[in-house]
Amino acid sequence: MPRKYYAIRRPILIELEFLSTMGSKIFLLPFLRRTRKQLIGFLVLNVLIICTTTQLFLTLCLTGFKDWFELINIAPNLGVCAISSIKYAKIHVHRDVYNQIFCHFRDDLWDVVSINSKSHQKVLKKYRFICMVVNRFLFYYSLPLIIVVNSFPFLVMTYENKVVGKDLQYLYPFNGWYPFDKVKWYWCAYLWESCMTALVVCVYVFSNIMHATYIIFICMELRILGLNIEKIISTEDVKNLQNGQRSKEIHERVLHQLKFIIARHHFLAKISSSLDNVLGDAMLLNYSLGAVFICLTAFTFTVVDNFYQSVRYFSFSVSLLVESFNQCIVGQILSDHSEELTESIYSADWPNASPETKKILLIFIMRAQKPFQLTANGYLTMNLNTFSAICSTSYQFFNLLRTVYP
């Protein structure tokens, strides 16, 4: 039995260990009781991200408002850095919440899992596979992204100068402002921008991986709770109740299990609300600027003549679109799973339950009809309808610019 229990837990623990290993590289894990060196490392990285955000803001103020293309070139980078800075700081500030969720899925999740239930094992395998696919995609997507973003400017610059024979035009990963001659100190500026690009991408991707893992595991536990409710009164229990055998014992057991399920559902609602509060600022910023930036970068990609700039703006547009979709689809999945619990409650064999259990089930089904949600600071819900609105707004702005632009 212990070996089977360990075999069921191991895949989930592997995903949590993957999360822990990644978080430790940027000094966010362990969430609590970090060493002095880890805290210093966190402060250093936090200062570096803030410095990069400030640098891009100064670049925008000094040069961006004078040139349309510079504005579009700088603004998306500034937005990504600002969101990364917000997420990095908020994860640290709310580390108690993140640690509570991490420990819950490591230790307490298994209180609702039946080792011998094939349906539970199937759910665990399904959601662990989804989590693994999402996390590995984000992880392995970030590595070539960092390499391409950091090497592409130099490769294009070298190709145009050495092969095509054009005059040397210095290119940088994000072309920030410096209080010195960045042409004279080209390699210092290039190294700084390459390192900061890698840091911002790592923080951004880790945040997405961690939140995706937590949301997927919340959905997994909601599904298991649904299965438990559907089978809370078994076929054998129904036969015994109809025959008048062990009625009191069965009703007491069912009531106890139901109260436990409700308590666990309340906990999941609580941690979902906590994640919503933490992510609200970043989601609001992403929604507020997403439609505009997607439109501007896509439009600029269609009108600019420079190959390097075309690829750059196209990449910006696609990345912004993917990030908006990621936030909206995660919110949609969470809402759908929480609402599906209503069907599970209704599917339970409640006609054979005691009057007290029926009343509690009625109250529970009313509570379950209120879905878990991720919102942009409460202003709007992040779901596929919101993503559709972002795409629609971007497309309308795009057509407007195409009409106005000579």
Distances (CA, A) of 181 to 15, 65, 216: 46, 21, 48
Distance CA 83, CA 200 (A): 9
| Of residues 156, 126, 185, 81, the one with CA closest to residue 312 | 156
Confidence category of residue 341, pLDDT binned at 50, 70, 90:
very high
List pLDDT tens digits, range 89-114.
999 999 999 999 999 999 999 999 99
What whole-number distance in Å separates Cα of residue 106 and Cα of residue 108?
Answer: 6
Provide DSSP, 101-136: HHHIIIIIGGGS--TT-HHHHHHHHHHHHHHHHHHH
Mean pLDDT along residues 124-143: 93
Phi/psi region, residue 139 (left: phi>0; alpha: psi -120 to 50; beta: rest), is alpha
Whole-angstrom distance, CA of residue 115 vs CA of residue 128: 16
CB within 8 A of 273, min separation 6: which ones? 372
Helix (H), strand (E), coil (C) string for 352-403: HCCHHHHHHHHHHHHHHCCCCCCECCCCCECCHHHHHHHHHHHHHHHHHHHH
Q: What is the DSSP string of 141-197?
A: HHHHHHHHHHHHHHHHHHIIIIII-PPP----SS----SS-TTTTHHHHHHHHHHHH
Cβ-proximal residues to 115 (8 Å cutoff; 6+ apart), any chain: 1, 4, 5, 8
Nearest to 284, CA basis, from 380, 187, 154:
380
Average pLDDT estimate for 149-153: 93
Q: For 25-42, how does the pLDDT look when each residue is reduced to its tens digit (9 = 90+)?
A: 999 999 999 999 999 999
Mean pLDDT on 267-286? 92
For the cut 90, the answer to whether the pLDDT of residue 130 exceeds it is yes
Cα–Cα distance, 117 to 119 (Å, whole number): 5
Average pLDDT, the chain: 92
Q: pLDDT-based confidence at 406, cuts 50/70/90?
A: low
pLDDT classification of 319: cutoffs 50, 70, 90: confident
Q: Write the pLDDT tens digit of every residue in 374-402.
A: 999 988 899 999 999 999 999 998 898 88
Q: How far apart are CA 87 and CA 283, in angstroms?
A: 10
pLDDT at 67: 75
pLDDT at 214: 98
299's tokens: 């439009």
Residue 2 has pLDDT above 90, yes or no: no
In the predicted structure, residue 307 carries a pLDDT above the cut 90: no
* Dihedral sign from CA coordinates of 154, 160, 163, 167: negative
Q: What is the pLDDT of residues 161-177, one digit of tens each?
A: 999 888 888 999 988 99
- Give the pLDDT mean for 127-138: 94
pLDDT at 1 over 60: no
Confidence of residue 11 (pLDDT cuts 50, 70, 90): very high
- The tens digit of pLDDT for each residue in 54-77 reads 999 999 998 867 777 778 888 888
According to the model, what pLDDT value does residue 384 have? 94
Q: What is the DSSP letter of 31?
A: S
Residue 16 has pLDDT above 90, yes or no: yes
8 A C-beta contact, residue 39 and residue 152: no
